[in-house]
Structures are given as structure tokens and as C-alpha cells.
Amino acid sequence: MIKPLRAALLAAAALIAPVGPAAAGTAPPRAPAQARVAPHSRNIIFVLVDDLRFDGMGFLQPALHTPNIDRMAREGSYFPNAVVTSSLCSPSRATILTGQTARNHRVVDNNNSSEKGLVFFPSYLQHVGYQTAFFGKWHMGYDTNAPRPGFDKWVSFKGQGTYWPKDPLLGTTMLNVDGKETPQKGYITDELTDYAMNWLEKERDPKKPFFLYLSHKAVHSDPLPPPRYLHQYDHTTFKLPASAKNTPENYSGKPRWVYDQRNSWHGIDFFYNSDVPMTEYLKYYYGALSAVDDSLGRIFAYLRKSHLDKDTLVVFTSDNGFQIGDHGLIDKRDAYEASVRVPLVVWEPGTVPAGKVNPGRVRNLDFAPTFLDLAGADRPSQFEGQSAWKLWNGSVAPQEWQPGDFVYEYYWEYNFPETPTTFAITRGNLKYIEYYGIYDRDELYDLSSDPEEMRNLADDPARIKDKIELRAALFKQLANREGEHMIPYLGRESTGAVRRRRGGTGAAPFPDSWYIEPNPTDRFDNIIPDNMGKAKAHAAGRPFIPTPPLIDAIRAAAQGGEAPTKKTEN
């Protein structure tokens, strides 16, 4: 490199605020200590659904019929700012169970991830006297549905499972019931609830507190309602988000990959490579949710009949969000609000405030420490989240709740290569998103004035300081427990869902500001880190590091001279 240019780059680096070392990592997982019985233990029922949109409940959408979820909200508290640290089934479920982020538990996609070395939080509940039970979709390590450590009762199935026991491709679905392969008999939501109710009513020890994890397949694609709800929404017209339309305004400032995905497996124009309109798909999606609502109704009826309603915490949430055309996208994975936000309703009469909308942010990372906190169990050193119990029971007001930054991570999957590796950080109302290994732009949104994320502020000169600060904070917080910044990934096994609709939406153009003429005088400005000096120079219409045309620099260096350059802006 030419001497003046090297000096200029070093001077530019000196203007950049140093990024501190990565936060000290947590210790590796440890097994539970010797068993003891915690005093005043309450029961816990954790109900997890799959792919439920953050606003997919009747008390938020009057067209939906979810009387039991609505009752939960009336008698308990609703948390509109619940989020997931990775919006994908397996990584999210691993985060819930381990209290760790994907970069540490390393279950990074929906393929056959290893569970080696992971400790699931119900093990700690067992060691303070809890009986524990798991019913439903596990979805980590698809090769086995065998019982996992930490659960006294186990009913699960391999992979995604099926809504009905007879699948044309897979044959009869087998459930693993306490280590024994057992044929599935009926509609999966109802059958899982049958197993759960039988355990509650007949199998558990009534003298011990219990933790029940009911993990439904619903409402994952392809959603199949039971016959009683097949025509429930025949005459309902569902409205799609305004950003679903293919207009220049909707794609202004968006990364190219977002537009490119529109005509793909996870795009609104060709989702799941079908021609079913999303407005039609939602009829089945919400029909499948009605069976989950019935399941909750059975649980509440049992708790009241058994006089356990005031001693049992019930939590209802989803493993990730679901887009229905937001920004032309469907499904999850990305860092947009409809992907990372999930429903969260918490219920325990007399303890959890009734009829409250609590804006405190809760992550799926926080569930494990919360459950151990209210059970009186010690917090393991590897947990990364914080207990939200005082927020849930109202002893800490939302304005006093200090959730810290919300850091998001999603790692590229060969199966669905439309979505790039994505990192994001939300601090207060500002959200910054960046992408790894892709030729594209980053994003910055002010969620207080732009909750639909329509105005990308990443290139706004007035926001350069915010962008620099959030970038540095994101990088620091993405370090794993060893203080490393690494991209975990699993082996590739197929081409993936790469097909597009013939004659459909094409690829997006690069941003217009990226198109330039040869030999710009600021050739290196986009390479060096952003800093306030560079922003000042660009605001004045000047290069930060003035550079000569490449051929002039080469010729000058070849002749032993130095190409002309100007002083770097400070």
C-alpha cells in the first residue's frame, strides 16, 4: 500500500472509539447439585406453540376465536414485548431449555444438532423436589425421540411430527411414551393434551410440586385444523400487513435479499412453493390454534376443579413469531418485529396481576431463570438470562424493569438459503440489524416512531453515532462464553429450497447509491470503520481519505514516487 494512504488509514483508525474486550464468558454447564426440597413451591405449566404470530389471539384480533387464551389475558397479564433471541424452532427451544443463547448452546438450525453437554433446566427443578413432564414437540436432534434428562414423564415424537397419525409419506406416526414406541392414535393437539391430563389427574404424586411442559406442533405448517374447526373461518377475511404489497415505497431502504426472497419458499408471492393465498392459509392456521385453545380450557378446568388454580403458574407463548407478508416475507428467521416478537400471557390468580398489559421486555432466554427463581432453586452459572418473576408478579413495575439490550442471532441454513446470517441489537427504541457473508446493506430503525420498520435510518448522517455505538455493542455481546466471535454451522446435505416461480418477481437491484463512476476520490472510505470524522467529511461533500486513481498510484509507486493525496479529515 502507498505510504500516505497507509498513514491515512492509521490516522482514521485512531479516530474510532475503541471497542472493549468481549464480556467475560459464563462457565460451561454444570449438573444440578444434590437434591433438596424448596419451600413454598408452586406448580408450573408451560404451554409452547409453534410459529404463532405475536398478535394471533382473539383479544388482539376480534375476528379470532380464542376464548381460553383471552380468559388468560383477562385473569392474568399480557406481555406485548416478548421476544426470542433466535427466531427458529430448534435454536429457540434450546434457548428455553438451557437458558443460553445459540452461540453457546450451538443448536443453530433445525437439522440434527447435538445436545452433548447441555443441561436442561427441568433437571434443576427435579433436584428441588419437582416432578417434571414433557409432552409434544422436542425438535432437537431429529434422529431420536428418546426421553431426555430432566423429565420424569416423557411423550414425544421425531422431528416435526404430524397432525394426523396416518401420513401418506411417513406412514403411522410413532410417539415415544416413556421410552416405548407407541402409535399415534388421533389428532396430535388433542392426543398430547390427553396424555398431559392423564398425568395430571392420575400419574403424578399429588404431594409434590410439578412442572408440565406441553409443547404443541400447532400451528406449524402445513396447519391442519381438526374437523370441528375446519370451516371455522370460511367467511372470515384476513387482512395482510400494508408492507406485503410490492411497491417501491415498501422496499425503499430495504436490503436486496428482502426483495429477492419475495418470490421464494419464504416469500409472500410463492410461499412454500404453492399458489395458496396467505388470506386462505390463515383460515387453517387459526383453525389449528382453536384446538390449542381447547387444550388450555381443559387445563384451566382441571386446575379449578382440583383447587390448584391459585398455586399454579400457567405460561402461554410461542417458539418464534410468524410473518404473513410483512415486508413481502413469510415465516420467521429474520430480525424484523413480526419474526422476533411472540405472544406471552402469564396466569396465576392472586399472584399475577389480572387484566394487565405489561410492556416489560421478556426474552425466551429468561424463562429458565424465571422458573428456577419461583421454584426456589439456585441459578446455574451458565444461564445468560434474568429472572422475570418480579416483573410477572407485579412487585417490579415495568418502568423499573431493566431488561438491558436485546441481542438477536440467526445463522444461515443451507436448507433455506434465502435468509442470511443475521445479527441485531435493540437498545431502548433503536434497533440495528447487520448481515454476515452477504453483499448487502445494514438497517437501523426507531421503533418508537416507526414500529413497522419502514424507514431505514442506517445511512442517515444524523444517526451515525447511534449506528457506531450499536455496532460496537452488538459485536461485544455476540461473544460466546470463551470470548470468541465464531459462526457455528452444521454440514450441508442438500441444495435447499431455492426454487422460484417462473415469471414471478425477479431479483432486486443494488441500492442506487452503490452505483458510481470509475476512479472515485474516496475509494477507501467505505472500507474503513465508520467514525464521526468520516461522517463530517461526507456531510461536507468531501472524501475522508482522498485517493488518486488506482493507475496513477501504481505508476507513481513503480517510479519510486508517491501519488498525490490530501490530508485526512479530522
The owner of cell 460466546 is 480
| Interacting residues of 406 by C-beta distance below 8 A, sequence separation 6+ | 83, 85, 361, 363, 425, 426, 427
Query: Residue 18's pLDDT is what?
Result: 36
Amino acid, single-letter form, for residue 456: N
Dist CA 382 CA 476 (whole Å): 18
Query: Residue 385's pLDDT is what?
Result: 98
Could you tell me whether strands 430-436 and 443-446 are parallel, antiparallel, or unpaired per DSSP bridges? antiparallel
456-471: b (≥16 Cβ within 10 Å) or e = bbbeeeebbebbbebb
Could you tell me whether strands 210-215 and 131-137 are parallel, antiparallel, or unpaired per DSSP bridges? parallel
Dist CA 381 CA 27 (whole Å): 6
Query: Residue 450's pLDDT is what?
Result: 98
Query: Residue 249's pLDDT is what?
Result: 97
Listed in sequence order, the DSSP H helices in 312-361 are 337-340
Report how far Cα 358 is from the mean position of its chain's Cα atoms. 20
The owner of cell 393434551 is 193
Q: What is the grid cell recorded at 186? A: 388421533
Burial of 192 per CB tally in 10 Å (0-12, 13-18, 19+): buried
Report how far Cα 277 is from the mean position of its chain's Cα atoms. 25
Instruction: Please name which of 284, 316, 309, 131 lies closest in space to residue 220, comparing C-alpha atoms.
Output: 284
Residue 342 near residue 317 (C-beta atoms within 8 A): yes
Could you tell me whether strands 82-83 and 180-183 are parallel, antiparallel, or unpaired per DSSP bridges? unpaired
Query: Residue 558's pLDDT is what?
Result: 76
Query: Residue 491's pLDDT is what?
Result: 87
Query: Residue 40's pLDDT is what?
Result: 56
| Interacting residues of 551 by C-beta distance below 8 A, sequence separation 6+ | none
pLDDT tens for each residue of the chain, 570 residues long: 444 444 444 444 444 333 333 333 444 566 665 555 555 579 999 999 999 999 999 999 999 999 999 999 999 999 999 999 999 999 999 999 999 999 999 999 998 889 999 999 999 999 999 999 999 999 987 678 999 999 999 999 999 999 999 876 667 899 999 999 999 999 999 999 999 999 999 999 999 999 999 999 999 999 999 999 999 999 999 999 999 999 999 999 999 999 999 999 999 999 999 999 999 999 999 999 999 999 999 999 999 999 999 999 999 999 999 999 999 999 999 999 999 999 999 999 999 999 999 999 999 999 999 999 999 999 999 999 999 999 999 999 999 999 999 999 999 999 999 999 999 999 999 999 999 999 999 999 999 999 999 999 999 999 999 999 999 999 999 999 999 999 998 888 898 999 999 999 999 998 888 898 988 999 889 888 899 999 999 999 999 999 888 788 778 777 766 555 544 444
Query: Which contacts of 486-494 are long-range, i.e. CB under 8 A and separated by 24 or more positions?
Result: 486/103, 487/411, 487/421, 487/436, 487/437, 488/102, 488/103, 488/106, 488/108, 488/411, 489/108, 489/109, 489/411, 489/412, 490/108, 490/109, 490/111, 490/112, 490/113, 492/414, 493/111, 493/414, 494/414, 494/415
Instruction: Please name which of 98, 68, 76 lies closest in space to residue 85, comparing C-alpha atoms.
Output: 98
Burial of 221 per CB tally in 10 Å (0-12, 13-18, 19+): middle
Query: Residue 559's pLDDT is what?
Result: 76
Query: Residue 554's pLDDT is what?
Result: 74
Query: Residue 7's pLDDT is what?
Result: 44
Query: Residue 69's pLDDT is what?
Result: 98
Number of neighbouring beta carbons within 10 Å of residue 22: 17
Query: Residue 113's pLDDT is what?
Result: 84
Widest distance between CA atoms in the chain: 93
Query: Residue 551's pLDDT is what?
Result: 83
